[in-house]
Chain A
Amino acid sequence: MSTPDFTCFQCETDADGLVTATFDVPGKTMNTLTQAAIAEIEALANWLKDDEALKGCVITSGKDNGFCAGADLQEMTALLTKAQGQSEDDKREAFKLAFALNRVFRSLETCGKPVAMAINGLALGGGLEWALSCHYRVVGSSSKIQLGLPEVKVGLMPGAGGTQRLTRLVGVMAAGPLILEGKSLRPQEAQMQGVVHEVSDDPVAAAKAWIKGGGKAKNPWDEDGFRIPGGAPQGKAGQMFMVGNAMLRQKTYANYPAPIHAMAAVYEGLQLPFDRALEIESKYFVKTLATPQAQNMLRSLFLSMQDLNKGARRPKGVDKDKIESLAVIGAGFMGAGIAYVAAKAGVKVVLLDTSQDNADKGKAHSETLVGKAVSRGKMSQDKADALLANITPTTDYTALGDVDLVIEAVFESREVKEAVIKQAEAHMKPDAILASNTSTIPITELATYSGRPDQFVGIHFFSPVDKMLLVEIIRGDKTGDRAIATAMDLVMTVKKTPIVVEDARGFYANRCVLKYIEQGLSMVAEGVPPALIENAAKMAGMPVGPLALQDEVAIDLGVKILKQTADDLGNAYKPGAVDAILNGMFAQGRLGRKNGQGFYVYPKGEDKYLWDGLSDYVTGSPQSLDPQDLKDRFLYAQALEAVRSYLSEIVTDPREADVGSILGWGFAPWSGGVLSFVEMTGLEPFIARADELAQEYGDVFAVPDGLRKMAEQGERFYPLMAVA
């Protein structure tokens, strides 16, 4: 038999009949399991099965950047359409499509010849599942290699045997974090846990050696008398499922269908023969795809985020700049954080402050962070040294003369910023861009201090800068495209996600999150028990309760923002529950987490607990203690503010509104973001519920006319089937 024609594999057969199949999908920078690739894996399996001259096969990758990143989500449209269909025929069709990958991997697993995989780069999702269907796995020794099943992070579950093979390989306990939380493993960990057989500097040679040494063409679960490590679900592993179910609810509030379905697939699958187990997995996979949560998460957290990270919103026709140098003025917490992320990305950073001491302190922030990373084995000493060498602390404004971009992150005061802007521009190159990291002062206003307002832009990093993945780029009235493009290039260089927003109070994220905190404080005043407020918020999918969040932000800062808003609005400002509580607590010396006293009490070395003095701030009686009502208030208050922002074009692209809401302030990721939440509720039901809430709780829930119009005309934020 001759070698079949492959386009995704380069196959070489040696004198002993050992095939080396190098996986290299044409036209893709990263190997994914495209339809063509899947068909060829099946052809490879059949060839191995039918050609008696062949003795075995080693599969490896021809790409530098990894082995295989899993299924091709862009190609999933047909499957998604069928999975969302209402009829049983649609579901059966969806199952057939979903099962294809399981069927193909199974054919490779049962081809009768030993198949070894030499994993010479990251293997994620379907990539790892493919490896698990092989009889032997050798992984390269590079610490860059990751093995994992990240499906749940984008609303999906493993659907190509991962829930069945991994559990049968290492047991339910060890497989849990990979399948249910999307944790990934480095080569050494993977070997220790038994996910791979061997770590080698030359995985291809090691894989060949295993086959030549008589490697067996059978996986453990196909052997007679196979027992699941750690026991079966209705046996020894019962306890693990009991606790596992509780942990799943503890961590996810049961808001995410995918991990629950994955857990169910494991539970049911482990009680079935292997081939039937694969079918159950595919059925749960289809069931997951049919949920709005999966569709929305896939759209926002995978597709939209990928688009935005690639600069989908970068102005057209402006040449891409590689940001090589940056100056940050103001080495406080924000400035120091910006310097760190830039230096980490290889950017030369001038970190400027009024005194050398302050500038050095700013650099010390990076020293602390890399120190931690090195001691935890997450960064090499070389990398750490290189990172620190990129930061030059100084007081000398002439250092700005060499950089392409300057970001000011000085104290939030118009006077201070005016002085800094003027002084900086006096030293900057004429074509350099100047950015402000302000979170409260309009960019258009700051631009009046600039001699070249078209080169002036807002770049709003979130705190803490090293952790927060979102950056708002703020367009002032006169900001030009080149300034936007340069800001975006920086954000992409530091591997964060940029969204472009218009110049409005609180920009986008802060104005929305403020509505969240506001609801929490209003509830305190109404007399809703504080524990119920915090728990209901977390049940809605928020990462932190509103009272705990206010403590993190700090109560004195809250007071400051209220005062600023009151000054700006003048007579139009109406103080409410928020003012009474924040001002009152501030007067009592309660500043939040930073002084250990806020809405919570923070005893040293122990868990925080709610302060019992909050009852003094109750001024009314609650209209409802139903957690569903409280959840709705939290989500609707934020979603409505986002809709207002969208309709008034503060944020103009639904992808930015959604991704921004999840990355910026942790808005219920299960929903796919603020606008996705509105859309999954349905515009009309959303409006009806908001109208009810407005009656009960006031104008915060007033529905903008624009949304009513959209509903009337049957418009949506996203086109139907925008997924893939």
Chain B
Amino acid sequence: MTDCFIYDAVRTPRGRGKKDGALHEITPISLATQVLQALRDRHDLDTGLVDDVILGCVEPIGEQGADIARTAALHAGYAETVAGVQINRFCASGLEAVNMAAASIMAGQTQAAIGGGVESMSRLAMGASGGAWPIDPSVAIPAYFVPQGISADLIASKYGFSRQDCDAYAVESQKRSAQAWEEGRFQNAIVPIKDVMGVMVLDRDEHMRPGTTVEGLAGLNPSFAMPGQMGFDDVAIQKYPELERISHVHHAGNSSGVVDGAAGVLLGSERFGEVAGLRPRAKIKGFAMIGSEPCIMLTGPEFVTQKLLANLRMKPSDIDLWELNEAFAAVVLRYMQALDIPHDKINVCGGAIAMGHPLGATGAMILGTMVDELERTGKSTALVTLCIGAGMGVANVIERV
């Protein structure tokens, strides 16, 4: 099996995913294009060496439709021999894109590829692409479909995390994100985004609220009490009948932020590095995916981690740094509880509660954060994972080179 190396990892800053967000005026194709151009321009890369561009995107319709990956490669001025494919593994799409690119390289079928993702949540709202799973009665009813926020509240109810626990976690996320920015830990990865005139509009994550306190969060209303009351609480209870009720602990302040952004990771074989004149930064040790119970939905990281560590014959203690996407506070709290991970080893640079979760791109973003962080701290091994809609998990272990 060929080794697959990470040669670079970049991302856009994350713009607030609203009409007044800095990136709202930037088309998703432009976000993806600027990422691809940055990867090329930082290394004077001969794009003819790249076989494929794989981009995750969760709402691949409208201006994110029609294979945005191939469109972005063309638009970025890559060689026309570079293929492109858009994939959708919901919230883990960005990491999945990296893993698919790695798989092909490891199998010897490609020499180099870019894995990444893009999502303009301000322009294509969550749920814009519809689908059978949440809507088709023949599918949704037997699947005990509930929105993710209900699943997150279900996790909190089932595993005993209070509103206080979740808010304390959120405050820590804000603190770590602010500190990471202050110390310039993201500097290397950031691709400042320019507007149509070529003027820079954003070079820093826009969603953060560094001064957040537990007292401040206490005033926020739970986001999912209303859908819960409309019937989704009962759906969750019918799946988990040991619960008398669902406690609604999640709100805008302890859930991932809605943002716009894109990311790209340049992957290749050792030979590609030699030809392109690039030095590898990290090695992909392995990756895995798993399906888990879809109603509680967001507990997949625990199971995919166990699967991946077993595949790699590793123990949790072999992992120096853990990164689990902060979809909701309870998701991370449950993961730490299940695998006995100390808080100071996981999400050390903060996460999506503070900085936001641009669905299709996040997986590639947090992988990049781990590459930078391993280099900064001199540590060796990191595990990156995300919880996923419809009950899945994807994980990946990298090793600094």
Residues of A that sit less than 8 Å from B by CB:
233-235, 238, 241-250, 253-254, 260, 263-264, 267, 529-532, 534-536, 539, 609-610, 625, 627
Task: Given A248-B141, A249-B231, A250-B231, verify A531-B241 contact (CB < 8 Å).
Answer: yes
Residues of chain A within 8 A of B127, CB atoms compared:
238
Among residues of B, the one whose C-beta sits closest to the C-beta of A631 is B241
Shortest CB-to-CB span from A256 to chain B, Å, is 11
Residue of A nearest to B243 (CB): A531
Closest CB-CB distance, B225 to chain A, in whole Å?
A: 13
A264 to B137, CA, bound (A): 5
Q: Are A535 and B135 in contact (CB under 8 A)?
A: no
B393 to chain A minimum Cβ distance, whole angstroms, is: 24
A-B pairs with lowest CB-CB distance, top 3: A535-B241, A246-B231, A531-B244
Q: Which residues of A contact B145 (CB under 8 A)?
A: 242, 245-246
Closest B residue to A237 by beta carbon equals B135
- Contact pick for A260, options B137, B227, B235, CB 8 Å: B137
B141 and A249 contacting across the interface, CB-CB below 8 Å? yes
Instruction: Find out whether the CB atom of B234 lies under 8 angstroms from the CB atom of A249.
Output: yes
A233 to chain B: which residues have CB within 8 Å? 135-136
B142 at the interface (CB under 8 A from A): yes
How far does the Cβ of A613 sit from chain B's closest Cβ, in whole Å?
15
CA distance A494 to B140 in the complex (A): 43
In the complex, chain A residues whose CB is within 8 Å of the CB of B234:
246, 249-250
Contacts of A267 in B (CB 8 A): 135-138
Contact with A along B242-278 (1 / 0, CB 8 A): 1111000000000000000000000000000000000
CB of A243 within 8 A of CB of B230, answer yes
A627–B244 CA distance with the chains assembled, in angstroms:
14
A244 proximity list for chain B (CB < 8 A): 137
On chain A, the residues within 8 Å of B227 by CB distance are: 243
User: CB of B81 within 8 A of chain A?
Assistant: no
Q: How far is the CB of B132 from chain A (nearest CB, A)?
A: 9
Contact A535:B137 (CB < 8 A) given known A246-B232, A254-B142: no
With A249-B231, A264-B138 known as contacts, the answer to whether A539 contacts B238 (CB < 8 A) is yes
Given A238-B130, A243-B230, A267-B135, CB of A249 within 8 Å of CB of B144: yes
User: Chain B nearest CB: distance from A422 CB in Å?
Assistant: 52
Query: Does B168 count as interface, using CB distance less than 8 angstroms?
Result: no
Interface residue B146 (Cβ < 8 Å from any Cβ of A): yes
List, in ascending order, chain B residues with CB within 8 A of A263's CB. Answer: 137, 141
Assuming A253-B238, A531-B241, what are 15 further A-B pairs, CB within 8 angstroms?
Answer: A238-B135, A241-B140, A242-B134, A242-B145, A243-B231, A245-B140, A246-B235, A247-B230, A248-B137, A260-B138, A264-B138, A267-B135, A267-B136, A530-B244, A539-B238
Complex CA distance for A531 and B234, rounded to whole angstroms: 13
Asked whether B49 is an interface residue with its Cβ less than 8 Å from the other chain, the reply is no
Q: Which of A234, A245, A529, A534 contacts B130, CB < 8 Å? A: A234
* Distance of B238 from chain A, by nearest CB (Å): 6
Contact among A241, A532, A534, A539 with B137 in the assembled complex (CB-CB below 8 Å) = A241
Cα–Cα, bound, A150→B135 (Å): 25
Q: Which residue of A lies closest to B128 (CB)?
A: A238
Q: A238-B130, A246-B234 are in contact. Are A264 and B243 (CB under 8 A)?
A: no
Q: List 6 A-B contacts (CB under 8 A).
A: A242-B134, A246-B234, A260-B137, A535-B238, A535-B243, A609-B244
Q: State the CA gap A529–B240 with chains docked (Å).
A: 12
Q: In the complex, how many angstroms separate the beta carbon of B36 from the nearest chain A beta carbon?
A: 32
Report if B106 contacts A (CB, 8 A): no
Contact with A along B369-382 (1 / 0, CB 8 A): 00000000000000
B230 touching A234 by the CB < 8 A rule?
no
Query: Which of the listed residues B130, B140, B146, B227 has the most CB atoms from chain A within 10 Å of its own CB?
Result: B140
Binding site for A on B (CB under 8 A): 127, 130, 134-138, 140-142, 144-147, 227, 230-232, 234-235, 237-238, 241-245
Decide yes or no: A247 and B231 within 8 Å by CB, A529-B242, A531-B244 being known contacts.
yes
> A703 to chain B: closest CB distance in Å?
28
Name the B residues within 8 Å of A530 (CB-CB). 244
Inter-chain contacts of B141 with A (CB < 8 A)? 245, 248-249, 254, 260, 263
Contacts A234-B130, A247-B231, A249-B231 given; indicate if A242 touches B135 (C-beta within 8 A). yes
- Complex: how many Å from CA A688 to CA B125? 53
Give the residues in chain A near B144, CB-CB below 8 Å: 249
Bound Cα distance A233, B139 (Å): 14
Q: Is the CB of B135 within 8 A of A249?
A: no
Which of A235, A248, A539 lies in contact with B241, CB distance below 8 A?
A: A539
Q: Which residues of B contact A627 (CB under 8 A)?
A: 241
Residue of A nearest to B142 (CB): A254
Chain B contacts for A248, CB-based, 8 A: 137, 141
Decide if B135 touches A234 in the complex (CB within 8 Å).
yes
Residues of B within 8 A of A249 (CB): 141, 144, 231, 234-235, 238
What B residues does A260 contact at CB under 8 A? 137-138, 141
Closest to A537 in B: B241
**Min CB–CB distance B234 → chain A (angstroms):** 4
List chain B residues, Cβ under 8 A from A250: 231, 234-235
Residues in A whose Cβ lies below 8 Å from that of B235: 246, 249-250
* B245 contacts across to A, CB distance below 8 A: 609
Q: Are B135 and A241 in contact (CB under 8 A)?
A: yes
Contacts of A253 in B (CB 8 A): 238
Shortest Cβ gap from A244 to chain B (Å): 8
Q: How far is the CB of B219 from chain A (nearest CB, A)?
A: 23
Q: Is the CB of A264 within 8 A of B136?
A: yes
CB neighbours of B137 from chain A (8 A): 241, 244-245, 248, 260, 263-264, 267
Inter-chain CA distance A532–B242, complex, in Å, is 4
A529: chain B residues at CB < 8 Å are 242
A609 to B245, CA, bound (A): 9
Taken together as a complex, chains A and B put the C-alpha atoms of A534 and B245 apart, in Å, by 12
The closest CB in chain B to the CB of A247 belongs to B231
Residues of A within 8 A of B142 (CB): 254
Which one of A249, A253, A529, A531 has the highest number of Cβ atoms from chain B below 10 Å of its Cβ? A249
In the complex, which residues of chain A have a beta carbon less than 8 angstroms from the beta carbon of B130? 234-235, 238
Bound Cα distance from A609 to B232, whole angstroms: 19
In Å, the complex CA distance between A250 and B235 comes to 6
Give the nearest-CB partner of A259 in chain B.
B137
Minimal Cβ-Cβ distance residue in B for A235: B130
Interchain CA distance A532-B245 in the complex, whole Å:
11
A247 to chain B, nearest CB (A): 4
Task: Give the distance in Å from the alpha carbon of A543 to the alpha carbon of B237 in the complex.
Answer: 16
Is A246 within 8 A of B241, CB to CB? no
**What's the nearest-Cβ distance from chain A to residue B103, in Å?**
32
Complex Cα distance, B134 from A491, in Å, reads: 48
CB distance from A234 to the nearest CB of B (A): 4
How far in angstroms is the closest Cβ of chain A from B158? 12
Q: Hey, which chain B residues are within 8 Å of A235, CB to CB?
A: 130
Nearest residue (CB) in B for A232 is B130
Across-interface contacts of A254 in B (CB, < 8 A): 141-142, 238
| Complex Cα–Cα for A246 and B135 (A) | 10
- The chain B residue with its CB closest to the CB of A242 is B134
**Which of B127, B227, B235 has most A Cβ within 10 Å?**
B235
Q: Which residues of A contact B232 (CB under 8 A)?
A: 246
Question: CA of A245 to CA of B235 in the docked complex: distance in angstroms?
Answer: 9
Alpha-carbon separation in the docked complex, A335 to B234 (Å): 38
Q: Which residues of B contact A234 (CB under 8 A)?
A: 130, 135
Which chain B residue has the least Cβ–Cβ distance from A253?
B238
Q: Which residues of B contact A247 (CB under 8 A)?
A: 230-231
| Most chain B CB inside 10 Å of its own CB: which residue of A235, A243, A246, A529 | A246
Instruction: Give the distance to chain A from B165, nearest Cβ to Cβ, in Å.
Output: 21
Which of B135, B136, B146, B241 is the one whose CB lies under 8 Å from A532?
A: B241
In the complex, chain A residues whose CB is within 8 Å of the CB of B238:
249, 253-254, 535, 539
* Complex alpha-carbon distance, A583 and B137, angstroms: 47
